[in-house]
Each structure stands twice: as C-alpha cells, then as structure tokens.
Homo-oligomer: A and B are copies of this chain.
Amino acid sequence: MVFDGLYAERAKLMKTSEIREFFKLTEQPDMMSFAGGFPSADFFPMGKVTDVLQGLIEQEGKFALQYGPTEGNLELRTYLAEKMTQEGIPASPDNILITNGSQQGMDLLSRVFLNPGDVVVVEEPGYVGGLGAIRNYEGDRQSIPMDENGLRTDLLAAALRKLSGDNRLPKFAYLVPNFQNPTGICLSLERRREMLKLAREYNFALIEDNPYGEIRFEGKALPSIKSMDTEGRVIYLGSFSKTFIPGIRVGWLVADEPLVQKLACAKQSTDLCSNSLGQRMACRFAASGYIDEHVASLISHYKEKRDLMISCMEKHFPAGVSWTYPQGGFFIWVTLPEEMNARSLLLKAIERRVAFVDGAGFYVNGNGINTARFAFSEASPEKIWRGIAILGELLHEEVTGLKKAISA
C-alpha cells in the first residue's frame, strides 16, 4: 500500500470494528435482530416531517439550504437554551453549540482536551461511540466497573488516588447517566453528587451524554449532573436522534462560553457548519410544541417493547441468565453464566436468524465475554416475541451442554 509509511500514529489505532462488520449481517430483512441501537422508524412522525419540510422550504428555503453559522442556527440555539434552563441548566444561546449528533460533541471534546496518553475515565461497560472518540485521539481509557447504580464511585476514588500518585490524573470522565448504552442503568443521585465532588477534588471535566433521558417509562427523573454544577465543570451533550429523528444528525452541547468558542473554532475546520436543513427541521418540530406530544407517544411505544422483551426473557431464558430492568431508553443488558461465551452464542443464534451484540466490545480491558446487549427499540413485537423464544431454546441447550461438560 502506497500510504502505509505515511499514516499518523493515531491512525494505527483506527481499525474497522468487528461490531460494524457484523451489523451488516444482522441487517438482513428476515433477521430477528436486537443488535442495532436504532430508534424505530415506525415511530418517526412522518406527517409532521412532511408539513415541517414544506413550510420550511416555502418560507425560509434560501436559508435552510445555505451554509449557516458554525455555532448553529440561532433560533435553534435559543430554543435549546430555554429548554435547558427549564430543565435546571441555566443557559443562553452562547452556551449552546450545535453538533452532528452528540457523537460530534464527543469528537470535538476529545480533540480539544486530549494529548496522546492522557487518561480518561469511562464506564465499564461503556458506550462504543464514546470509547472510539477517545481512542481516535490516543486517550488512555481507564474503565471503572458499574453496578446497578451506575459507575462505582468508590472504585473511582481509589483509582484517582493511585492516578494522582502517578501524576496521571484524568482530563475528563465520560458518562451516560440515564439508561446507559449498553446497560440501561441509571447513575444514582448520590453517585451523581459524588462524581461532581471527585471531579472538583481532582480537577477534571465531566462529560454528561444524555441521549435517552427523556425516554423514561416510569419512576422519577434524576437531576442532571450539569444542573448541580456551579463552576462550569460539566459539559452536557443532548441529541434529537432519539426524541425526533437521527437521519438529520442534529445534537447539541452545553458548556461555558469560552469552551463553546474553542469547540466552535475546532468545528469550523472540521465541517464549517452542521446541516442547515436538519437544524431548522428540528427547530420547527421542537419549538412549535410537536415534540412534547411526540415524546409522550414514544415513551408509551417503547415501554410496550421493553415490557414485551422482559416478559419474553422471563418466560424463555433459563436460570443462570440474568438481565437489567431498564426504566427507560433502548437497552437491556444480559449476563450469561460465567462459563458461557456470548460471541459463540451469537454465532449460533445467527444461524437461527436471531442477533444481539455480545458485550466484549463495550469493555476496553477484555472483560465481559459472558455479557450481551439487547436493544428492544427497533425490532417489531413479533420479532421480539419469536426471537427471544428461539434464543431461549438455544440458551437451554447451551446450559444443558455446560452442565454435561462440567459433570463429565
């Protein structure tokens, strides 16, 4: 290859992930797939999208199809500043940067904060997109195990003491505190406070990525970490991908103005601006009040799917297999018996036209080989019902096989 000697150091870490290759397989139409964490296209508000688009081109087409400001459309930033303020995060438009989904927020933040080898605290297991952005800038991802209340702040405190001794304190911690991808777990209020305390004590930034927070089926919403932040230490990432549509790639970031300006400067040379059409669509859809009604309907639709998948798991999965019970979001996290390998199980499941994601890819340290992520968001009820039953059969066979192997 002509370029092999020319690549940058960081490029050597960029490899096509197995998960991605494998997604192509799971996207065959007859597959009962719980692999992709996509929203259901059945719930896209098509009628409203058509109305919004028509009004948009007629009334402001010259702007909606033109380049826009790097920071984002001012009307959308104004709407988002008001929304954030209502949610306990006082913000003006100058605190908002529009990004191509919250993934671009993570990319720009990693670019602005990370020198090669800089430590970043991540959840174990953690969101692959966040982990990948950090890896792209050669960050050293230190993962802290989670339990049913989210990242174990006691373990983090111990890790920080050690890192402090080595003079290797983290630049930031990356958290998905609500209905986390991949586990569906929420970070408890006590631990939110503890995270902020540790961030202050050891002087690192906190990135709070919240794509799923509004899709809550039951229970009381916990305050965001950003809402408890008095010194601009927390950077909040939001997205329209789950509450509206992902295909327009519109997310946002909330931070103090000097950081927003630095990130806008980085974004300027990255892609000039986010797409104007998508920003104005999101703004019209949200600011006109459609979005509240829409999110309410999403909650009821996704709750049905969560309930169905959980009840199917309860009915079909054998003893020794456990799973989380998420109060919102898209994901259930399944733990298989310790001796079982989720990747092997997946390969057998695919032969029976069922797919999920084995968990190892969400770990940075080789752990999690007996774990798996199940998304209930996209599959139809029929596919959930049939797929989990087929997987239950397979799991029963595997457990029986394991027992035989152990007793042999």
Contact = CB atoms under 8 A, between A and B. Distances in A.
B1 A266 contact: no
Interface in A269-293: 269-278
Interface string A99-113: 111011011000111
A245 interface: yes
A100 B42 CA distance: 27
A65 to B, nearest CB: 4
Interface string A225-268: 00000011100000001000111110000001011011011101
A361 B1 CA distance: 36
Given A1-B258, A57-B49, A61-B44, A66 B245 contact: yes
B247 A114 contact: no
A277 B265 contact: no
Interface in A36-69: 38-39, 41-42, 44, 46, 49-50, 53-54, 57-58, 61-68
A118 interface: yes
B53 A65 contact: no
A16 B270 contact: no
B205 A6 contact: yes
A265 B16 contact: yes
A258 B11 CA distance: 12
A interface bracket (residues with beta carbon within 8 Å of B): 35 or more
Q: A118, A136, A171, A271: which has the most chain B beta carbons within 10 Å?
A: A271
Nearest to A118: B8
Given A269-B135, A270-B133, A65 B44 contact: yes
A204 interface: yes
Given A3-B205, A57-B53, A246 B67 contact: yes
A11 B112 contact: yes
Given A10-B111, A111-B8, A54 B50 contact: yes
Q: Which of A133, A247, A248, A274 has the most CB of B within 10 A?
A: A247
Contacts of A258: 1, 3
Give the copy number: 2
A108 to B, nearest CB: 9
B203 A271 contact: no
A179 to B, nearest CB: 18
Contacts of A9: 115
Contacts of A137: 8
A66 B247 contact: yes
A12 to B, nearest CB: 10
Given A16-B261, A39-B66, A68-B247, 8 more contacts: A1-B258, A3-B258, A6-B171, A6-B205, A14-B266, A46-B57, A66-B247, A248-B275
17 contacts: A3-B258, A3-B259, A6-B205, A7-B113, A7-B262, A8-B113, A9-B115, A14-B112, A15-B265, A20-B268, A41-B63, A53-B53, A100-B275, A101-B271, A248-B277, A277-B277, A277-B278
Closest 6 CB pairs of A and B: A132-B269, A247-B276, A41-B62, A65-B247, A100-B271, A65-B245
